[in-house]
Chains A and B, each alone.
Chain A
Amino acid sequence: GAVVSQHPSRVICKSGTSVKIECRSLDFQATTMFWYRQFPKQSLMLMATSNEGSKATYEQGVEKDKFLINHASLTLSTLTVTSAHPEDSSFYICSARLPYSYEQYFGPGTRLTVT
């Protein structure tokens, strides 16, 4: 149980375009999902907390207009990187929190490369 999928696993886009990443909890409902960014050989950096039916909570320094988050259902959250630039290239990982728990289950990640 507690499986989280993420799509796509890898995406290459041109500078200035927008990219959408989907995160789905496959076998449980998640009112709260999280989006992380991970730089090479570093730990996970929380970008934002996505709450179903309400606005996402962004961490300090994360531009909400650049990283649009939508959590329209209890099993799906999306992250859209708008007007992507090469510095946005990174490994983006989502997680979903199990109901009534602090356990987070992670998706397999999305490798974004902006050329």
Chain B
Amino acid sequence: GQQLNQSPQSMFIQEGEDVSMNCTSSSIFNTWLWYKQDPGEGPVLLIALYKAGELTSNGRLTAQFGITRKDSFLNISASIPSDVGIYFCAGQSRGSQGNLIFGKGTKLSVKP
């Protein structure tokens, strides 16, 4: 089946540092989505990407849809303590009947 590899699994950074995480898939995706989940809450959509090569920003967050359509990355600039949480990538491919496939998440910890 389709798989998403998300890395790194966890990150421990200092406040103010930039963060980068990425996802790669074994198949071509038509849509990439990035979510953030706080403990005990549902995931919140951060950025949606629809075209290969697309680069989209949302405040301090920037995400790109890889040219090969098999990968995506999310960057967070100048991290702050409230960036703490688990970030999930999710992708949709032609064979998924509209369903999303989720990565295993990147747990971000920010030290003040």
Contact = CB atoms under 8 A, between A and B. Distances in A.
Interface string B1-44: 00000000000000000000000000000110101000011111
Contacts of B48: 102-103
B104 interface: yes
B100 A43 contact: no
B57 interface: no
A34 B97 CA distance: 13
Contacts, number: 50
Q: How large is the interface on A (under 10, 10 to 19, 20 to 34, 35 or more residues)?
A: 20 to 34
Contacts of B97: 49
Nearest to A105: B45
Interface of A: 2, 4, 6, 32, 34, 42-44, 46, 49, 91, 93, 95, 97, 102-109, 111
Q: How large is the interface on B (under 10, 10 to 19, 20 to 34, 35 or more residues)?
A: 20 to 34
8 contacts: A44-B88, A49-B97, A102-B98, A103-B33, A105-B45, A106-B43, A106-B45, A108-B42
A42 B30 CA distance: 25
B66 interface: no
